[in-house]
Chains A and B, each alone.
Chain A
Amino acid sequence: MILTKAQYDEIAQCLVSVPPTRQSLRKLKQRFPSQSQATLLSIFSQEYQKHIKRTHAKHHTSEAIESYYQRYLNGVGRNGAAPVLLDLANEVDYAPSLMARIILERFLQEHEETPPSKSVINSMLRDPSQIPDGVLANQVYQCIVNDCCYGPLVDCIKHAIGHEHEVLLRDLLLEKSLSFLDEDQLRAKGYDKTPDFILQVPVAVEGHIIHWIESKASFGDECSHHAYLHDQFWSYWNRLFGATWASREMEAACLVPLPDPMVCSRTAVRYLVSSKGKHKSTCHAGILSISGPDARGLLGPSPCL
């Protein structure tokens, strides 16, 4: 399933200032019925994260925190069963889970002698039953289950997707009889930074030589490409793993996941970068990610890279 730059832009455009809730996602699905939920969610999540990164600071000023907390207290004072915290988050355009964290932190500060440690907060967010105040516990829980971009549940889902795709990728490599070394084997050999898989015998895909594969299991927009490039891919390149990284068009334009004809008919997807109207491959040194049309139709036909 190819997602063109234009399609991607269209989706991203719809996601400006949309709260990260179930309802938003539902609307998005109605708007783009041809895209799978996984793809849409992944794009949504990434767009929303960008948005949060931009606005994060303004919600963490002490004035803002104080005002949120007061509004929360007033709200639950009026009606503890109402979705006070969730509404507050949506109103100020902040992620519900993160809002819950702000209020919880503030609450604990007020009710306990010492400022709460991060691990305590995290543990309470994972299991709101531990929150000493019942009303707050409910409010927090509501925020967490309704937030589709942040929170412990979403983190777990992302982690699970990552793991699943590594397994899928491994299956695929085995199925295609491609000999590889996985991360654990490489670590055992003493490598400090390794991609998910290094092919022991490189393969050519559409004329590009693939040496290593890193599964990212999230949608590969420019931003995430940049981030991964910086954090990981260059490191792999620096250790080279036998690759000749011939193209540096990474920075170029849009990312187009394409089903990969050679390595995997089923799920693998490569990124192509469209640069000034021409497609140039970005991933001479490796398939950056795989995912996508799953044969069993559970993930739907589109990639979730």
Chain B
Amino acid sequence: MAAVLESLLREEVSVAAAVRWIARSAQSSEVTAPTRPQAWPESAFRDDPGEAAALSSLRPLRKEFVPFLLNFLREQSSRVLPQGPPTPAKAPGSSAALPGRPGGPPRGGRGARSQLFPPTEPSSTAAAEAPSARRGGRRRGPGPGRERGGRGSGGLEEGVSGESSPWAGGRRPRGSGSPGSPSLARSDPPNLSNLEEFPPVGSVPPGPAGTKPSRRINPTPVSEERSLSKPKTCFTSPPINCVPSSQSSVPDTSPWGHGLPPGCRSLQEEREMLRKERSKQLQQSPTPACPTSESGSPLPSRTGNLTAEPADPARVSSRQRLELIALIYSSCIAENLVPNLFLELFFVLQLLTARRMVATKESDLEPIPGALDSLESPLFQSVHDCVFFAVQVLEHQFQVLSYLDKGTLKLLAENERLLCFSPALQGRLRAAYEGSVAKVSLAMPPSAQAVSFQPETDNRANFSSDRAFHTFKKQRDVFFEVLREWEDRHEEPGWDFEKGLGSRIRAMMGQLSAACSHSHFVRLFQKQLLQMCQSPSGTGGTVLGEAPDVLSMLGADKLGRLRRLQERLVAPQSSGGPCPPPTFPGCQGFFRDFILSASSFQFNQHLMDSLSLKIRELNSLALPQPEPSDEDGESDVDWQGERRQFAMVLLSLRLLAKFLGFVAFLPYRGPEPPPTRELQDSILALRSQVPPALDVRALLQQGLRARRAVLTVPWLVEFLSLADHIVPLLDYYRSIFTLLLHLHRSLVLSKESEGEMCFLNKLLLLAVLGWLFQIPTVPEDLFFLEEGQLDTFEVDTVTSEQGLDGMPVVDQHLLYTCCPYIGELRKLLASWVSGSSGRSGGFVRKITPTTTTGLGAQPPRTTQGLQAQLAQAFFHNQPPSLRRTVEFVAERIGSNCVKHIKATLVADLVRQAESLLQEQLVTQGQEGGDPAQLLEILCSQLCPHGAQALTRGREFCQKKSPGAVRALLPEETPAAVLSSAENIAVGLATEKACAWLSANITALIRREVKAAVSRTLRAQGPEPAARGERRGCSRACEHHAPLPSHLISEIKDVLALAVGPRDPEEGVSPEHLEQLLGQLGQTLRCRQFLCPPAEQHLAKCSVELASLLVADQIPVLGPPVQHRLERGQARRLLHMLLSLWKDDFQVPVPLQLLLSPRNLGLLADTRPREWDLLLFLLRELVEKGLMGRTEIEACLGSLHDAQWPKDFSEELATLFNPLLAEPHMPEPQLRACELVQTNRGTVLAQS
């Protein structure tokens, strides 16, 4: 392979020919000639027979050229970016170019990736194949007892971490502490200096792709050398002008750059010192988690005196060679022959911002004139070379750069090196910056709320039983409780999801038994997921963010600035390098952990079903149609809406697909690929039998055919990114990858012709696909497939219809939201500007408010038929907003129509049913017969009337729709358009309403009548006395009566006072009692605040009060401290009570209590006994008809059961016989004391 490069360098072969040659290996030969970058000389496009000959001999090596080139560049740059730049590439090594390394088998050659720097370190292969090293996550691996394959935030990364190591790890000896070694990782004590395992507070845990083993501090001997003040051993870097020796060249932050020098005595000691040093640095710079900051360049702020070496165009060593390689490299990028466009850009920017060269030879600093054509001499001999090369490549890639966000453009345009090497490019960038409106904010608005109760689906009627309904009710509460707890605590150190919530979640899942409940819960889960995580950037903010509250307390003028500040604080510091592995940031982590903790098969299945359904639904959602470009600004407004809707749908789809992928591949996910070929084959045989959870291939093919790749591919990538290691090897998925690969190759950015995909759409697809190709589970050889496997693509896309792909649906904001790792470019540049990268991780300068409107309801699909086609044609020529308006109106009016029918026609029928029922009840007597039978009779009479519903519905739609359409469309809409729109709206609304009504009206009537019948029968039923007789307060009542609670409380106090114990000075005045009874009367007459229990208690208390009056037990407050109530007063009060009982109480008054043993006992207690009040009361009761004689008799009869003293019983008998015998007694003439005069001692005490 090197031969090809060399022949290029010797100019035996032109670059254009070479690129064609390479491209042909990847694509079928009829592919259009690559558009040439501006720098290409015309002559480069001549096909030279000599060239062809030179190249044809190398034919078998063709496909290995690009990987070779990438490896070559990485290798060459190793001295500039000694810390192991975070530019991983999964280019398989070009075996032919690597002596001593036979090419591995095309499948499963996991070691290939490590060949980025192959000659130095074969052991890196082993490291790469030890992905079980558990360092990826924040959480330490769980105990071995419980299989938690993907548990914790580290779950996914676990399988990943080791694999991305080689690009950095390959060049250094793996010391004993290498985290890539699983056994050591486990046995080692926690390494506090490891930033992945112990990330600094507040930092976003970096994905392994960004952090890698490079983070790990390799032992560097310090103590001895430090005492000698040798620069190499100092933690401060050498002085600027000091020529670094081979050992000392590494800045302090990158001790891993070089091997362990011999003579290191105590690694333990060294580690200890390193750790201390590191912790000091951590305190100085709070966000070292950003990989670029850590490893990208030396940090002057930390080291004090290290500044970047100035780059000088005049000192570039081998211009021509660099130009050539830059050209061929750029061409490969332009032709999408490299797996990941942005990774290459990142690499180039790293070269641009390289601080200084690590010199290895003395001659390095001088150009070697004779070595131009040779690969033997280093490509980059100085920083000047690097910058020159980078600027060359950037010039070729200007177009892509110009589409980046404004912040990145600004940083690029302001880069002094760039200005120095290519003022022209700088000028173009500046112009692009000034013209750009692509402000991108990396922060996300907090958006989540709880899913609201949905009466339509969460109704009791949708549950099989009351129990299921109530179970779901409880589950909803538990779910939100768990969610809130997670929110409050998940950032606390030491908090563990499983430990904290696992058992509660499982207990909750355990209650879900019926399939129906599962589907209810899954619906809630999915809705909440969408609601919380859908916000742009997909990470979700704080769910119940307090911040807005704080902000809103301040004035509006400060608000903007504070928002910006807040944004900077909450924006993710790093997305984990330019190729982060799939993670579940923010709220997504909750849902992932929930699924894992629940570990419920049923739940997962229901969730997959539900996710698949929703994905299909959203994927086929009718999104904006191509719009004839309008002359006015109106379409612009519409277009914003379209874009927003597209973004919402796309983000939702990505989220759903990610979780679908997560759940679907969960059972298969393991930390590493199968160790042997045999095992792998047997797994493959087995897995190929399993049907996919969702037929994504069909959806992808559909999407490509309908030119909706820009919608389908991003979510598909999310889905595939969570696949396990076996998946890409399965035929089904392999064919998907092939399709994607084809798509990738076809997305040549420089091609801009009619019917092509929009630039940003392409860029999005390239970004997500490039990312996918770097996912650890995707085999690295997949990208560089044999040409034979790539035939079946072109046919599919040949469609005339313009789909989404051709519309500018993607903007920079969406691009950066979907691919936050593109932001790494900006961070890299910013770190160059600031000199110290790590400190200000976010670099968020611009604020773009984003809204999270819900997904629009799916527009109803029109039915077949000419009319429908006409309508379609009509809409086709109108702005999409018209169609949306009409569909919206139709949908609403249709729905309102149903409600209207329910409120009018059905309500009328129900009233009829009620009156019919009343008649029935009158004729058949109180019982009325069997309710079911009654219902049948009524329904048979009433349901036929339901037919009217359709007529009325039609009228309703006819009447209401046109007005609504008219109100919503611009006034200037032409009359013909307006009337057509109105007619279509009427038609659609009628269709919708009538469809529903004809299907459901009978059932609806039945249900309502049934409810009415049971209501009527219930009202008829148990307590006819209480019903109907209850009066409200009079019309004139102003509800100023005392509150019942107050009265009960007052009466209770009187009772307590009477019963005692009381203080000597305590008592009530007769006036107070009278007033109390007066108030009682008021309250009873004004029934506003009265509820039956209160009235019952009032009744009972009034009876108790009467008993106390009769027994003369109420202590009266008066001039002589305490005395008895006067007879007359007592009678007056009793009269008041009698009238209350008779006229005002509407509940039964428990008058029999007057004759209860306990209350009569009160009487027995008084001395001398006075019976006249009791007799008076009883007579009045009889007279007023409040109690019958027989009732009194019964009460007195039961009194005999009680144990009274003999004389008391005698007295009773003597007293009551005349009362009971004679209907009318005049005023009582006898006093008890006259009847029986013996003193009887304490009756109560004897009983």
Contact = CB atoms under 8 A, between A and B. Distances in A.
Interface of A: 22-23, 41, 79-81, 83, 86, 127-129, 131, 133-135, 137-138, 141-142, 145-146, 152-153, 156-161, 163-164, 167-168, 171, 189-193, 207, 234-235, 237-242, 244-249, 280, 284, 296, 298-299
Given A189-B455, A240-B453, A248-B544, A160 B1091 contact: yes
Nearest to B553: A207
Interface in B522-562: 544-546, 548-549, 552
A104 to B, nearest CB: 14
A190 B452 contact: no
Given A129-B1156, A134-B1157, A247-B546, A145 B1055 contact: yes
Given A135-B1244, A190-B458, A246-B546, A157 B480 contact: no
Contacts of B1158: 128-129, 131, 134, 137-138, 141
B491 interface: no
Contacts of B859: none
B1056 A22 contact: yes
B933 interface: no
B453 A191 contact: yes
Contacts of B1053: 22
B952 to A, nearest CB: 24
Nearest to A76: B1245
B458 to A, nearest CB: 7
What are the nearest 9 A-B pairs in CB distance? A239-B453, A190-B459, A129-B1156, A160-B1045, A160-B1094, A240-B452, A145-B1056, A80-B1245, A238-B480
A192 B1043 contact: no
Interface stretch (B39-47, B804-812, B882-890, B1057-1065): B1057-1065
A145 B1097 CA distance: 13
Interface string B429-460: 00000000000000000000111110100111
B261 to A, nearest CB: 55
Given A153-B1097, A160-B1044, 4 more contacts: A127-B1150, A129-B1157, A153-B1048, A246-B545
A146 B1057 CA distance: 8
A22 B549 CA distance: 45
B375 to A, nearest CB: 64
A28 B1057 CA distance: 18
Contacts of A190: 455, 458-461
Nearest to B1101: A153
Contacts of A234: 477, 480-481, 484
A238 B450 contact: yes
Contact of A246 (B549, B1057, B1063, B1153): B549
B1052 A153 contact: yes
Given A129-B1153, A156-B1093, A156-B1097, A299 B1059 contact: no
Majority DSSP secondary structure for residues of A touching B: helix
Nearest to A194: B453
Contacts of B461: 190
Nearest to A79: B1245
Contact of A238 (B477, B546, B1088): B477
Contact of B1091 (A83, A129, A163): A163
B371 interface: no
A248 B542 CA distance: 12
B1093 A160 contact: yes
B972 to A, nearest CB: 33
A131 B1053 CA distance: 23
Contacts, number: 156
Interface string B1144-1178: 00000010010011110100010000000000000
Given A129-B1159, A145-B1055, A164-B1045, A81 B1093 contact: no
Contacts of A138: 1059, 1158, 1161, 1244
B1093 A127 contact: no
Contacts of A81: 1165, 1242, 1244-1245
B467 to A, nearest CB: 13
B1052 A157 contact: yes
B793 interface: no
A223 B412 CA distance: 59
B544 A23 contact: no
Interface string B478-505: 0111001000000000000000000000
A86 B1061 contact: yes
Given A127-B1153, A129-B1157, A160-B1093, A240 B469 contact: no
Contacts of B1101: 153
Given A167-B1088, A191-B455, A241-B453, A23 B1063 contact: yes
A159 B1063 contact: no
A142 B452 contact: no
A240 B1048 contact: no
Contacts of B544: 245-246, 248
Interface residues of B, number: 65
Contacts of B453: 191-192, 238-241
B452 A156 contact: no
Nearest to A281: B549
B959 interface: no
A67 B1203 CA distance: 28
B473 A192 contact: yes
B874 interface: no
A73 to B, nearest CB: 13
A207 B551 CA distance: 13
A193 B469 CA distance: 12
A207 B452 contact: no
Contacts of B479: 238
A157 B452 contact: no
Nearest to A251: B488
Interface string B1106-1123: 000000000000000000
Contacts of A133: 1247
A299 B1046 contact: yes
A23 B1063 CA distance: 9
A37 to B, nearest CB: 8
Contacts of A22: 1053, 1056-1057
Nearest to B483: A238
A86 B1042 CA distance: 31
Contacts of A240: 449-453
B1059 A142 contact: yes
B923 to A, nearest CB: 30
Nearest to B549: A246
B1049 interface: yes
Interface string B1022-1050: 00000000000000000110111110110
B1242 A156 contact: no
A153 B552 CA distance: 47
A197 to B, nearest CB: 16
Contacts of B668: none
Most buried by B among A141, A164, A237: A164
Nearest to A78: B1245
A171 B1038 CA distance: 12
Contacts of A141: 1059, 1158
A161 B484 CA distance: 33
Contacts of A207: 552
Nearest to A296: B1040
B57 to A, nearest CB: 71
Interface string B330-347: 000000000000000000
Interface in B923-971: none
Nearest to A280: B549
14 contacts: A22-B1057, A127-B1100, A134-B1158, A135-B1245, A141-B1158, A145-B1056, A146-B1061, A152-B1097, A157-B1045, A164-B1045, A191-B453, A191-B455, A192-B470, A280-B549
A54 B979 CA distance: 75
B902 interface: no
B548 to A, nearest CB: 6
Contacts of A128: 1158
Interface in B549-600: 549, 552
Given A83-B1060, A134-B1158, A235 B477 contact: yes
